Amino acid sequence: MASGFFALLDDIAALMDDVSVMSKVAAKKTAGILGDDLAVNAEKASGFISDRELPVLWAISKGSFINKLIILPLAFLLSAFLPWAVTIILLLGGIYLGYEGAEKIYEFFFPHVHEKEEVVHTEMTEAELRAIEKERIKAAILTDFILSVEIVIIALGTVVGETLTTQIIVVSIIAIIATVGVYGIVALIVRMDEMGYKLIKSSKREKSFAKTFGQFLVNALPKVIKSLSVIGTIALIFVAGGIFVHNINFFHHFMPSLPSFVLEFLVGLVVGFISLLFVLGFKKIFKKKTA
């Protein structure tokens, strides 16, 4: 009986070792999406009235947890009964991520020309403000759902050859990190300016460290969100390219002299811009038909 107990402990220890190793691999593979998730949510959670930022972020976080609860069982069922479907979803996700990255690059060089609209400033009731807030929360949760699918599928793709128990533990860990970690950092980011204003207000001297640091935090917030957006775009391209390079033999053995990160970035760019051209062409055809 004792030997059986110790054998069980050995099995648990071996499982934890596998989980630890695979979790690190999965975290590395999903880092790009997590970066983009962070950038997107920091942007969506900012811009609210100061005392509503954290309640809004909490509402989005709860929606994100619900998203994971829906996605995780479906992902494990696919892995158990249709493992080939995981690769197909990964490749479709890679196309989507490449398209998103290419679209952001395209928008940077060729921004949309928006018609100037005269903004009429009117006092809004609390009910109207809450209605707008709810719509923005819904939009943020929908975006989170799309990114969560990719995070879970990419994490699952790294452990698809492991036992179902390992898959469940590793992917669940990544899902928790993707929610708690990302939204925890977002909370710190969106409150940067509020913390800065408090430091400025608390400082009695004109030139003090508290006031200088507070001003730095206030000025840094928009730059941090912009920087995250740029980092997220680059990460999207890398992740998209990595999905194709590691899942299609042609790309895996294409130009072996190139460093892997260069190959992944180039493949991600090509996939992204091909899908972008296809979408732009489809939009043009659709406009002509409806004109």
pTM: 0.67
Residue 155 sits in which domain range? 2-290
pLDDT at 81: 83
* Entry field: residues in the chain: 291
Q: How far apart are CA 105 and CA 207, in angstroms?
A: 41
Q: How confident is the model at residue 89 (pLDDT cuts 50, 70, 90)?
A: confident
Distance between CA atoms of residues 226 and 29, nearest Å? 23
Q: Residue 65's CB: how many other CB atoms inside 10 A?
A: 16
pLDDT tens readout for residues 232-290: 788 778 878 888 887 788 877 777 777 888 888 899 999 999 999 999 888 888 877 77
Q: How many folded domains does the chain comprise?
A: 1
Q: Which residues contact 183 (CB under 8 A, 6 or more apart)?
A: 41, 57, 60, 61, 64
Q: At which residue do the structure tokens 């890679």 appear?
A: 94
The CA distance from 256 to 237, in Å, is 20
